[in-house]
Amino acid sequence: MPASRPAVFLDRDGVVNRAIVRDGRPYPPASVRELEILPGVADAIGALHRAGIAVVIVTNQPDVARGTTTRGEVEAIHQQLRQELAIDAIEVCWHDDDDACDCRKPKPGLILAAARALNVDLSRSVLVGDRWKDIAAGKQTGVATVLIDYRYSEPAPPSAPAPDVVVGSLLEAMPWIVERTRNEVQMHEALRVKIFADGAEKAGMLELAAHPWIAGFTTNPTLMRKAGVSDYRTFAKEVLLAIPDRPISFEVFSDDLAEMERQACQIASWGDNVYVKIPVTNTRGEWTDGLVRRLVRDGVKLNVTALTTLGQVRRVAEALAESRSSYISVFAGRVADTGRDPVPLMAAAVEMLRPHPGLELIWASPREVLNVYQADQIGCHIITVTSDLLKKLPLYGKDLDAYSLETVRQFHEDAAAAGYTI
């Protein structure tokens, strides 16, 4: 399969063609005769297509289910759009709200279907829409979002996510789209540190597995409990079946060293890509390095976790010295929580592991996007990143004046939505 590429997902009515606005609300053209492609759209889509970016229309067309138009009329419009524009695909939801489908925006089904069909890297992609439902659908897939704001008389619900940028047309959004796509490509190609996704929500893990730059996964009982996992073994085996090609860390949960060893051997037997997480001590402060040595001799790949000091790194590295592949997780974020700068500690840990080619250092519990680049700069091998932080990675290098303006707009919109008066 060819390497994945970015895509620009376009809502149809109001983005590609002019919407029919009645009483402040947008409606689709009823037929090809009413179809009017908006100014600059053909040029914008052509430029994206020539740059190797997939162009996909994602559109709700509930009027078919409501009986006010026919599927034939909608498909005739789409045939005309294909003739006039360099479009790679058109994904359509034919349902109404009552159908409870997975494809009707604000649900993300249309975007995910196109991403699978076209081998799209969602982390490098953008959605452009003119309604809050478009933005909400995009946010659920991790793409950047652009709102073309026509100030329709349909206020978004309080829970609706804000777009990344607000513009007046697709053409106006083009410099931002092109810059963002280029920055994303550069970011992933330039980073040496491997990004492991940290979480335990199965659907989210599978979605992230579609991104080739996610190099592995980590989880733990705390995250699994938060995600509602009730059967540890079943959850782990389902994830391993779906993601067989990247390392995944699962943690023992006993406090007894002998039971830890039994659990570790069981977990390791679930797959060749399994790394077993062993805490640096148990809750009584008893070191696990003896256990670690025995597991290394048994050929178990380990992820020794919850370290916060260089003394711990040194002792664990000695216990793992004969391992052909294991990780040491230093909780740099928790170090930072105490008011200490974790960078010198992590840089020293990198040097400490240099004589051990089978060991890799994990920067665990990062708190901000900056940590990814700090980890990269000091030569840390891996950083674990939660889904919330992954969504912020595209902000790296963002123009600060533009970010300021977006912040002002968000404050203004929130105040207006709240109806505050003085």
**Active-site positions?**
277
Pair of tokens at residue 407: 């912040």
Residue 345 lies in a domain: yes
Segment among 115-119, 122-126, 319-323 with least mean pLDDT: 122-126
- By three-state DSSP, how is residue 144 classified? strand
Q: Which domain holds residue 410?
A: 7-185+400-418
- Whether the CB-CB separation of 327 and 364 falls below 8 Å is answered with no
Specify the pLDDT at position 187: 59
CATH number at 59 reads 3.40.50.1000
What b/e string do you get for 53-80 counting C-beta neighbours within 10 Å, with b at 16 or more? Answer: bbbbbbbbbbbbbeeebeeebbeebbee
Q: Which residue has the higher pLDDT, 417 or 40?
A: 40
> Amino acid identity, residue 122?
L
**Residue 405 pLDDT > 90:** no
Confidence of residue 207 (pLDDT cuts 50, 70, 90): confident
**Residue 189 pLDDT > 70:** no
Specify the pLDDT at position 238: 93
Bridge partners of residue 60, in order along the sequence: 93
- Whether the CB-CB separation of 211 and 3 falls below 8 Å is answered with no
Residue 2 lies in a domain: no
- By three-state DSSP, how is residue 215 classified? strand
The residue-averaged pLDDT of 27-56 equals: 92
Pair of tokens at residue 108: 């993300």
Whether 137 and 255 share a structural domain: no
Whether 152 and 283 share a structural domain: no
Specify the pLDDT at position 51: 80
Specify the pLDDT at position 347: 97
Whether 20 and 59 share a structural domain: yes
Total of domains in the chain: 2
The residue-averaged pLDDT of 91-95 equals: 96
Which DSSP state fits 34?
G
**Residue 380 pLDDT > 90:** yes
For residue 311, give the nearest of 294, 292, 333, 289 by alpha carbon. Answer: 289
Specify the pLDDT at position 92: 97
Whether 233 and 176 share a structural domain: no
Specify the pLDDT at position 1: 45
Confidence of residue 134 (pLDDT cuts 50, 70, 90): very high
Q: What is the distance between the alpha carbons of residues 406 and 388, in angstroms, rounded to a whole number?
A: 19
Residue 377 lies in a domain: yes
Mean pLDDT of the chain: 91
Q: What is the distance between the alpha carbons of residues 270 and 292, in angstroms, rounded to a whole number?
A: 19
Whether 245 and 277 share a structural domain: yes
Residues 6+ apart with CB under 8 A from 24: 152, 153, 154
Q: What is the distance between the alpha carbons of residues 290 and 410, in angstroms, rounded to a whole number?
A: 54
CATH number at 350 reads 3.20.20.70
- Whether the CB-CB separation of 343 and 378 falls below 8 Å is answered with yes
